[in-house]
């Protein structure tokens, strides 16, 4: 299988007061297409920072990331955005649905941004797959947390991404709802052959991924 995500020597430092603080130190790994990887570790271990770098949402102090063979930090901000649009889907801990848009419109958004004409049909189909057809016209604030995260899943999968980045997708949900969302996400992942990169501190969830990457104090420990 081909390598779809390749991180080499990733380092991130930020200034804390006057002295530099290292958040990630020399992280290297590769993920094959269709694989699933869980990034685990304690709070503050650098999990979310790593995910942000892998998705090109932030720039590293050193090292490189290739997605689908492209060195993303050789691209400018717009180039990375375009690549995200083509390759990646996202699920966030805090859902990040646009509050002014209803469920259907939130799912349509990535397709509309890509200029697709059949955005509505595809979004409706995607919502149906997460079981929310009936709630298509509800605004996020009228949906429960689990429902909001399912809308986020529908939005993540609607553009048929090759890679799905998920940041603590169950962090804001109770155990039972979280479990449902996880089942749904893994099932969609399997059905579409998407590569999954997941940040979590839930060991049970991590265990369901094919590989685990454990971070401590910004370094890979396992």
Residues of the shown chain interacting with other proteins in the complex, contacts defined by CB under 8 A: 48, 51-52, 55, 57-58, 77-78, 81-86, 88, 90, 92, 94, 96, 98-102, 105, 109-110, 112-117, 119, 139, 141, 155, 159, 167
The CB-of-93 to other proteins minimum distance in angstroms stands at 8
- DSSP 3-state of 23: strand
Q: Judged by CB, which is closer to other proteins: 34, or 85?
A: 85
The CB-of-114 to other proteins minimum distance in angstroms stands at 7
The CB-of-73 to other proteins minimum distance in angstroms stands at 14
The CB-of-194 to other proteins minimum distance in angstroms stands at 16
CB 37 within 8 A of CB 196: yes
The CB-of-207 to other proteins minimum distance in angstroms stands at 24
As a whole number of angstroms, the distance between CA 194 and CA 137 comes to 28
The CB-of-151 to other proteins minimum distance in angstroms stands at 13
Q: Judged by CB, which is closer to other proteins: 35, or 167?
A: 167
**Which structure tokens are listed for 164?**
């799905």
CB 122 within 8 A of CB 128: no
The alpha helices in the chain, defined as continuous H runs, are: 47-54, 77-87, 103-113, 119-129, 145-158, 175-192, 203-207
The CB-of-188 to other proteins minimum distance in angstroms stands at 17
Q: Judged by CB, which is closer to other proteins: 128, or 142?
A: 142
The candidate with the shortest Cα–Cα distance to 191, out of 201, 200, 183, is: 183
Q: Judged by CB, which is closer to other proteins: 113, or 191?
A: 113
Q: Judged by CB, which is closer to other proteins: 4, or 90?
A: 90
The candidate with the shortest Cα–Cα distance to 173, out of 211, 197, 205, 138, is: 205
Residues in the chain: 222
The candidate with the shortest Cα–Cα distance to 164, out of 90, 100, 53, 82, is: 90
DSSP codes, 49-70: HHHHHHTTSS--SEEEEEETTE
Q: Judged by CB, which is closer to other proteins: 32, or 86?
A: 86
Q: Judged by CB, which is closer to other proteins: 37, or 97?
A: 97
């Amino acid at each position: 299988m081909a390598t779809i995500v390749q991180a080499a020597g990733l380092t991130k430092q930020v200034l804390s007061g006057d002295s530099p603080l290292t958040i990630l130190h020399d992280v290297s790994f590769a993920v094959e297409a269709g694989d699933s990887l869980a990034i685990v570790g304690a709070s503050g271990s650098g999990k979310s920072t790593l995910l942000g770098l892998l998705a090109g949402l932030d720039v590293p102090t050193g090292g490189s990331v290739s997605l689908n063979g492209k060195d993303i930090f050789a691209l400018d901000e717009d180039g990375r955005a375009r690549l995200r649009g083509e390759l990646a889907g996202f699920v966030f801990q805090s859902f990040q649905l646009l509050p002014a848009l209803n469920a259907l419109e939130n799912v349509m958004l990535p397709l509309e941004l890509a200029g697709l004409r059949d955005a509505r049909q595809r979004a409706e189909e995607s919502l149906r797959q997460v079981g929310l057809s009936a709630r298509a016209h509800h605004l996020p604030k009228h949906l429960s947390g689990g429902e909001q995260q399912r809308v986020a899943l529908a939005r993540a999968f609607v553009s048929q991404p090759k890679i799905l980045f998920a940041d603590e997708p169950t962090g804001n949900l109770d155990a039972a709802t979280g479990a449902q969302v996880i089942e749904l996400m893994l099932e969609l992942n399997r059905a579409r052959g998407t590569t999954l990169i997941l940040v979590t501190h839930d060991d049970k969830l991590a265990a369901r991924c094919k590989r685990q990457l454990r971070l401590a104090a910004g370094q890979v420990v396992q």
